[in-house]
Amino acid sequence: MSRARRAAAPVRRFPMTRVPLVSALACAFAVASLSAPAVGQEFTVGSLKIERPWSRATPGGAKVAGGYLTITNTGTEPDRLVGGTLPQAGRFEVHEMKTENGVMTMRPLNQGLEIKPGATVTLAPGGYHVMFMDLKQPLKEGETLAGELRFEKAGTVAVRYSVQAIGATSPGSTTSAGGGAAPAAGGHHHH
């Protein structure tokens, strides 16, 4: 910084103006660092690594929401995600969305979702996901929800879902892939 610019800086004349700014920045950083781990969380059970469980906020009255995460099998045997629990939901199901004859359909995977040895399976909007059914209350953006995932061989693991904005397409995003708000209630419609 040049000498002329330094001499003209208000910080030079009023040294106390720097303290509130530094304090505000420190507080903002502290708050951001407290909320960040919810998006980057990892959980392990047996040879399975579960990363970044998250869900979307739901409007009042919504009865369903989707749950998303990534599962990596570091072992030598396949395993299956067969269920789970979320206290805010009456039921928990493993689902798949896929296009058949030009129509997007959603169906439960009654035998669970296989995770082959060495494979990583991503549960994301528009594909594999877990469904929180019969919601007892709306899911609110910013919440962290304690739940469990149940695997055929590895057993049960406690996880925490980070609740993102209604239109989120991934942890930390705020809009759908189309740029606008995604369908409410986790993007699922039941007919």
Distance of CA 54 to the CA centre of its chain: 2
Beta pairing partners, 112: none
Claim: this prediction has a pTM higher than 0.85:
no
Whether the Cβ atoms of residue 165 and residue 174 lie closer than 8 Å to each other: yes
**Which segments of the chain are extended strands (E)?**
42-45, 48-56, 64-73, 79-85, 89-100, 103-108, 113-115, 120-123, 129-135, 144-151, 155-164
Distance CA 131, CA 133 (A): 6
Please state, rounded to an integer, the average pLDDT across all residues of the chain.
80
pLDDT of residue 40: 58
Task: Please tell me the least confidently modeled range out of 6-10, 63-67, 82-86.
Answer: 6-10
Whether 87 has a pLDDT exceeding 80, the answer reads: yes
Whether the Cβ atoms of residue 162 and residue 54 lie closer than 8 Å to each other: yes
pLDDT of residue 175: 52
pLDDT of residue 170: 87
Give 129-159 pLDDT, tens digit per residue.
999 999 999 999 999 999 999 999 999 999 9
pLDDT of residue 89: 98
Compute the average pLDDT of residues 13-23.
Answer: 43
Whether 14 has a pLDDT exceeding 60, the answer reads: no
Compute the average pLDDT of residues 13-37.
Answer: 39
Task: Please tell me the least confidently modeled range out of 1-5, 96-100, 142-146, 186-190.
Answer: 186-190
Whether the Cβ atoms of residue 95 and residue 106 lie closer than 8 Å to each other: yes
Please state, for a pLDDT cut of 90, what percent of the chain lies above it: 64
Higher pLDDT, 40 or 42: 42
For 57, 142, 162, the CA distances from 41, given in Å and listed in that order, are: 18, 14, 9
Distance of CA 121 to the CA centre of its chain: 15
Joined together, the tokens standing for residue 81 give: 């995600």
Contacts of 115 (CB under 8 A, 6+ apart): 48, 71, 72, 73, 78, 79, 80, 81, 121
